[in-house]
Amino acid sequence: MSAIQLSSPSASRVIPFLLDLARDPIVWLIALIFVVGAMTSQYYLTTLNLENLMRNVAVIGLLSLGMTVVLLTGRIDLSVAALMIFSIVVGVVVMTEIAPLIGSRWLVRGNTYAGPIVPVILIALTTGAAIGAINGIGVAYFKVASFIMTLVSLTALRGFNYVLTDGHPYYLKAPLYQWIGDSKFAGIPVSFLLFLLVLLVLIGFVNGTVRGGRFYAIGGNEKAALYAGINTRRYVVLAYVISGLCAAIAGIVFTARLKSVDAPLAAGYELTAIAIAVIGGTALSGGIGSPWRTLLGSVAFAAGLNLLAIWGVGTWYQNLAIGIVLIASVGLSKMSRKKSKS
């Protein structure tokens, strides 16, 4: 009897969750994409394609998680794609400049970086957090509109990417980077496991703590949050720092897979991150959304684009599909909110 009583609370939480999951339109959309993929291509459900799909989810999912946190506060971050490349470029350039000072040469055969990669990763993470803080301070303390602030950051960071690389790619040669980009654990790519780790941390913080819940309060009604004693400016800055860190981690995963970093990479990924967050149910006006649903949006988005690629649909048409999906998602989210209010 005691065993039943001990297990019943967890069962009471799990069963409603599974029922909600079974009714979730995104889950049905994901299932539909996989069924259509299996029916139209013999390659869609192969191990190789599923591994590539998970690696794609890791990159765009990490960007979208950071975007989700910012959107919860009623702001937006257009700089994430440029920042994911800038953070790695800064790490490589800084380490390359340090090398001669300690009697080493880490840039070999033109543009191949063969030095220690851990400092590059640490510099990249620090850079991501720092740029995120600058964006947050500009928005929260200097009252610059988030669209304008992060659009300026996007433009500036893309320019810096070209200046620092001199328009040439850096090739990254390091065992740890190869491990992050190529290795698997129990058949699951390490990059996807890293994405899941970040996801769990954000779910625990945003949905499981009082401090994380303040993002929802700010996005839902910022004046009420301010009157309730919440330091709204501090939490807006924190949201952008989280976004910058997620962008830097996405840059690590992305460049580890490519074994290189180049200025033009990831152009347009900021729109992808917005689209995925909105598909996952995050409101552009703030206060609604969750990292968990961003995972579902990431899987649906990546699976759909993967299917289009297998069908031979060109990149330009895929970009058109992204735009259509974004517009449709925004429209549907507004309609659902109006119905819930009525």
What the block records as the tokens of 123 is: 């510099």
**159 has a pLDDT exceeding 70:** yes
What is the CB neighbour count within 10 angstroms for residue 32? 13
Which pLDDT band holds residue 5 (cuts at 50, 70, 90)?
A: very low
CA distances from 11 to 6, 17, 187, 207 (A): 9, 10, 29, 20
* Per-residue buried b or exposed e for 155-187, using 16+ beta carbons within 10 Å of the residue's own CB: eebbebbeeebeeebbbbbbeebeebbeeeeee
Q: What is the pLDDT of residue 60?
A: 96
What mean pLDDT comes out for the span 272-290?
Answer: 91
Q: How many CB atoms lie within 10 A of CB 151?
A: 15
Which phi-psi region, left, alpha or beta, contains residue 187 (left: φ > 0; alpha: ψ -120 to 50)? left
Q: What is the pLDDT of residue 337?
A: 55
pLDDT at residue 9 greater than cutoff 80? no
DSSP 212: H
How many domains does the chain fold into? 1
One-character DSSP codes across 76-104: --TTHHHHHHHHHHHHHHHHHHHGGGGT-
Residue 296 has pLDDT above 80, yes or no: yes
Residue 55 is assigned to a structural domain of this protein:
yes
Give the pLDDT of residue 163.
Answer: 95
Report if residue 342 sits inside a domain: no
Q: List, in order, residues 6 or more apart from 110 with CB less than 8 Å away.
A: none
Q: Is the pLDDT of residue 338 over 60?
A: no
Q: Each residue of 225-250: pLDDT tens digit?
A: 999 999 999 999 999 999 999 999 99
- The token duo for 166 is 């001199």
Alpha-carbon span 246 to 131, nearest angstrom:
12
E strand or H helix that includes residue 285 = none
In angstroms, the CA 152 to CA 158 distance is 10
CA–CA separation, 84 vs 88, rounded Å?
A: 7
State the average pLDDT for the chain. Answer: 89
In a domain, 128, yes or no: yes
What CA–CA distance (Å, rounded) separates 328 from 294?
17
Full residue range of the structural domain in which residue 126 is found: 47-266
Lowest mean pLDDT among 53-62, 66-75, 116-125, 331-340: 331-340
Q: Are 271 and 79 in contact (CB under 8 A)?
A: no
112: which DSSP letter? E
Asked if the model's pLDDT at residue 8 lies above 60, the reply is no
Examine the pLDDT at 251 and tell me if it is beyond 60: yes
User: pTM of the predicted model, to two decimals?
Assistant: 0.91
Using CA atoms, how far apart are residues 85 and 263, in angstroms rounded to an integer?
7
pLDDT confidence bin for 7, thresholds 50/70/90:
very low
Residue-wise pLDDT tens digits, 85-121: 999 999 999 999 999 998 888 988 879 999 999 999 9
- Check residue 317 and give its pLDDT: 79
